[in-house]
Amino acid sequence: MALLHGGQLAVIAQQYQIPESDWLDLSTGIAPFSYPVIDIPLPVWQQLPTISTTLIEVAKQYYQAEHCWPLAGSQQLIEQLPQLWLNKISADNKIIAKHVYLPKVGYKEHQQAWQQAGFELHFYQQQLPSDIIENSVVVVINPNNPNNDRFSIQQLCVLQQQCKKQQALLVIDEAFADIFPTDFSFVQQLNDGQGNNEDVIILRSIGKFFGLAGLRIGFVCSSQSWCEIIKQRIGPWSINGAALYITEQALNDTQWQQTQIIRLQQQSHSQYQILKQYFPHCRIETNALFNTVYSTDAASIHRRLCQQAIYVRLTDENDALRFGIADQLQLERLQYLLSELFQENKI
């Protein structure tokens, strides 16, 4: 079943009978400033895509990884991981324990993938799981989307030790981690040279921070053996040449990355101030890629925002609204539309 995320503006525009061009669309956590898409040389389109050693070297440097491999978006591996893990468990002659620990709130594609593979779901909230069943799977989203929950390296190390003891697979989804300093990521912990972190899989996305979700590219950072399994599984051409070409430039462009983080932080902060002004009693979780406003009235506020052509993401729990970060023009429009709504007492 297709899950609802942000985006898909056409659907919501149709529902509210407002032309797509009239909407202020802040429904995703994708940066409003995209890495500039440079002229792409003709051979990149003409030839079959090649995953070059230079791209891998650039990605290793950016992620501080010993081993990594590109994916057609981190979503590609989220969907394939249950089968890969089951194959690995049976190849190692281990008992198959179809148990997975997932954050109660978070990107629901993880849950769907494991559920469809017949895994029993165990949910945790705020605290990472501590009593892990042998050969099971633990999924962590860090930072979490949409509640912005974060786990420290120390907390993740404790979890990783438990997973290792129980021969469990640890999956850490860091799709939004680029907005934090490099030492926020668990990737560097994989480089202990002892193979202690064999069954840890870290997912990274190019879509969010670089504002290029349509390019469909992300990375997995893991052990050499997992990278090899994944490489074999996804085959030689699932990531298109243009995506590989642009990503190599983007990961290399540290100056652009520094500018990006500063302007995202500034825009997020300004947006937070506006939201605080209109929702003074609501808890707002904020990072450089989204602001999430908690309210018991979230569903009805969402409806009224939509009537005003402001499209944000109503959480699956119907308890909050996630505002993606607006650029300056969008922010001015957001402020104007919110002021109109409040003047008319529609909220």
Ligand X SMILES: Cc1ncc(COP(=O)(O)O)c(C=O)c1O
Q: Which residues lie near ligand X (CB under 6 A)?
A: 5, 73-75, 107, 141, 145, 173, 175, 205, 207, 213, 218
Query: Amino acid identity, residue 18?
Result: I
Which is nearer to ligand X, 107 or 186 (by Cβ)? Answer: 107
Round to the nearest angstrom and report the end-to-end CA distance of the chain: 33
Q: Minimum distance between the CB of residue 194 and ligand X, rounded to whole angstroms?
A: 29
Which is nearer to ligand X, 216 or 333 (by Cβ)? Answer: 216
- Between CA 323 and CA 338 the distance in angstroms is 13
The gap from C-alpha 316 to its chain's centroid, in whole angstroms, comes to: 16
| SS3 label, residue 70 | strand
Q: Minimum distance between the CB of residue 29 and ligand X, rounded to whole angstroms?
A: 6
Q: Minimum distance between the CB of residue 177 and ligand X, rounded to whole angstroms?
A: 10
| SS3 label, residue 315 | coil
Q: Minimum distance between the CB of residue 335 and ligand X, rounded to whole angstroms?
A: 26
Which is nearer to ligand X, 5 or 122 (by Cβ)? Answer: 5
Nearest residue (beta carbon) to ligand X = 73
Which is nearer to ligand X, 227 or 274 (by Cβ)? Answer: 227
Which is nearer to ligand X, 132 or 177 (by Cβ)? Answer: 177
Which is nearer to ligand X, 77 or 331 (by Cβ)? Answer: 77
The DSSP-derived string for 303-330 is HHHHHTTEE-EEPTTSSEEEEEPP-HHH
| SS3 label, residue 277 | helix
For residue 282, give the DSSP letter: S
Counting beta carbons within 10 angstroms of the beta carbon of residue 158, is it exposed (0 to 12), middle (13 to 18) or buried (19 or more)?
middle
Please answer whether residues 14 and 313 qualify as being in contact, where contact means their C-beta atoms are separated by less than 8 angstroms. Answer: no
Which is nearer to ligand X, 177 or 274 (by Cβ)? Answer: 177
Q: Give the list of residues 6+ apart from residue 5 with CB closer than 8 angstroms, or none.
A: 28, 313
Q: Minimum distance between the CB of residue 192 and ligand X, rounded to whole angstroms?
A: 25
Token pair of 256 as six digits = 């652009």
Which is nearer to ligand X, 107 or 272 (by Cβ)? Answer: 107
Q: Minimum distance between the CB of residue 288 and ligand X, rounded to whole angstroms?
A: 15
Residue listed under structure tokens 């707002």 = 284
Please answer whether residues 212 and 206 qualify as being in contact, where contact means their C-beta atoms are separated by less than 8 angstroms. Answer: yes
Q: Minimum distance between the CB of residue 73 and ligand X, rounded to whole angstroms?
A: 3
Please answer whether residues 206 and 247 qualify as being in contact, where contact means their C-beta atoms are separated by less than 8 angstroms. Answer: yes
Q: Give the list of residues 6+ apart from residue 307 with CB closer than 8 angstroms, or none.
A: 16, 346
Residue listed under structure tokens 């057609």 = 72
Q: Minimum distance between the CB of residue 149 and ligand X, rounded to whole angstroms?
A: 11
